[in-house]
Amino acid sequence: MRTVYVDNNATTQVAPEVFEAMKPFFHGLYGNPSSMHFKGGEVQKETVEAREKVADLIGASPDEIVFTSCGTESDNAAILGTLESYPEKRHIISTRVEHPAVLTLCKHLEKKGYRVTMLSVDRDGRLDLDELRAAISEDTSLVSIMYANNETGVVFPIEDIGQIVKSRGIPFHTDAVQAVGKIPLDMKKSTVDMLSLSGHKLHAPKGIGVLYIRKGTKFSPFLIGGHQEKGRRGGTENTPYIVGLGKACELASGHLEEENNRICFLRDKLERGLLERIPDTLVNGDREYRLPNTVSLSFEYVEGESILLLLSNLGICASSGSACTSGSLEPSHVLRAMGVPFTAAHGSIRFSLSIYNTEEDIDYILKQVPPIIERLRDISPFWRDYVKASSKK
Ligand code: PLP
């Protein structure tokens, strides 16, 4: 059976070049970079280079890069590390559409007595910056706002947000897990103080992430232990994965343009094709400010989980809501925050592409999806009611 993997916001396949670069670090090059002997020296050089490659991709300096175990750890470290640095301040600002790595932590902190403001979004998933301005207070310790949404691909105006936040002297963190490797970022020109990224979203393996911390940002370590990462994150460095992430960032630096153009072309062809072929289909999220690889569509009056299963039987891997929340039949918190109507939110499917997708993949999806929706609508009581009501008009 043909496999068409269009769930790259959930995770990506490890690039063959990344895998090759990592291999020697599991046997021959197994030293601890902190060791004084030559086995330590052998891996030190490669980890230094990997740090430079990660820094290059986001326009940072290598000593602003802290390796972590995943995007979730980076988000937790940024938020908890800042709160610890400003113990007198008890207010956090974030948004209603964050990934659970931020959202669930904020809810947890709220239970512990912090005041949390969750900014709302409009029907297109956009923020109201006046709401942000109004929310900032003397007590605000941190603003944490995602760069790009994992479900809709909507990209927030991070530099405009940063201007507002920094003008009030408040630390600014962004969860850029979905943005890094897909759109160009340059921390040299940015207002961001801290940025999270995750290896497995850009063709490195799962289990490696980064927290970028701008020089001079007040930060307390989240994992307290050894002197690794200049005392900002204890734990022996995961050298094979660090080298793998370095390679993935190097590759991403080389194909960002391709990501923006070829993938965007494929995504648009897919979106246009499905809208043309399937009536009562909506696009979720701002179509202008969006990641080039993502489209979230709602096929009204059908159940997203059923679409996913039928697609999976045909070798197509997509997602309804985010991978972390699928399995529950509740519409995702992102679509609910956007006010997507019930009949549409339930039938939402996210297609997220990568450099490995081809035009044949898109043609295959365009061929397979319409009959699936037709079949499901034929047995949907909601669709029958809708058709009956429309014919009476
Ligand atoms: N933030 C966003 C926006 C994500 O999409 C994800 C993963 O889907 C994460 C954070 C968590 O990253 P990780 O899986 O590396 O913990």
Using DSSP, state whether 346 is helix, strand or coil: coil
Q: Return the H-helix or E-strand segment holding 213.
A: strand 209-213
- Domain boundaries along the sequence of the chain: 4-10+255-372, 16-252
Ligand 1 contacts CB of residue 178 (under 6 A): yes
HSE of 9, CA atoms in CB hemisphere, 13 A: 29
Residue of 99, 105, 155, 350 best suited for mutating to test ligand 1, as the one with most atoms within 8 Å of CB: 99
Rounded-to-integer distance, Cα 314 and Cα 311, Å: 5
Q: How confident is the model at residue 389 (pLDDT cuts 50, 70, 90)?
A: confident
Rounded-to-integer distance, Cα 63 and Cα 340, Å: 43
Distance 198 CA to ligand 1 centre (A): 7
Q: Are 215 and 184 in contact (CB under 8 A)?
A: no
- Please identify, by atom number, the ligand 1 atom nearest to the C-alpha of residue 149: 3
Tens digit of each residue's pLDDT (9 = 90 or more) over 142-199: 999 999 999 999 999 999 999 999 999 999 999 999 999 999 999 999 999 999 999 9
- Please identify, by atom number, the ligand 1 atom nearest to the C-alpha of residue 199: 15
| 328: pLDDT strictly greater than 70 | no
The per-residue pLDDT for 321 is 62
| 203: pLDDT strictly greater than 80 | yes
Distance 72 CA to ligand 1 centre (A): 6
- Please identify, by atom number, the ligand 1 atom nearest to the C-alpha of residue 206: 15
The per-residue pLDDT for 331 is 86
Q: What CATH class is the domain 16-252?
A: alpha beta
Q: Are 83 and 219 in contact (CB under 8 A)?
A: no
The per-residue pLDDT for 392 is 73
Strands (E), 2-54: 4-5
Using DSSP, state whether 201 is helix, strand or coil: helix
Placement of tokens 């959202």 in the chain: 103
Q: Are 203 and 180 in contact (CB under 8 A)?
A: no
The per-residue pLDDT for 327 is 53
Q: Are 69 and 238 in contact (CB under 8 A)?
A: yes
Rounded-to-integer distance, Cα 232 and Cα 176, Å: 20
Tens digit of each residue's pLDDT (9 = 90 or more) over 211-250: 999 999 999 998 999 999 999 999 999 999 999 999 999 9
Given CATH 3.90.1150.10, say whether it is the number of domain 4-10+255-372: yes
The catalytic residues are 324
The DSSP output letter for 86 is: -
Other CB atoms within a 10 A radius of the CB of residue 391 amount to 7
Tens digit of each residue's pLDDT (9 = 90 or more) over 77-136: 999 999 999 999 999 999 999 999 999 999 999 999 999 999 999 999 999 999 999 999
Tens digit of each residue's pLDDT (9 = 90 or more) over 38-51: 999 999 999 999 99
The per-residue pLDDT for 388 is 87
| 322: pLDDT strictly greater than 90 | no
The pair of three-digit structure tokens given for residue 161, joined into one six-digit string: 């947000």
Mean pLDDT taken over the chain: 95
Percent of the chain with pLDDT over 70: 97
Placement of tokens 């709220």 in the chain: 110
Rounded-to-integer distance, Cα 266 and Cα 41, Å: 45
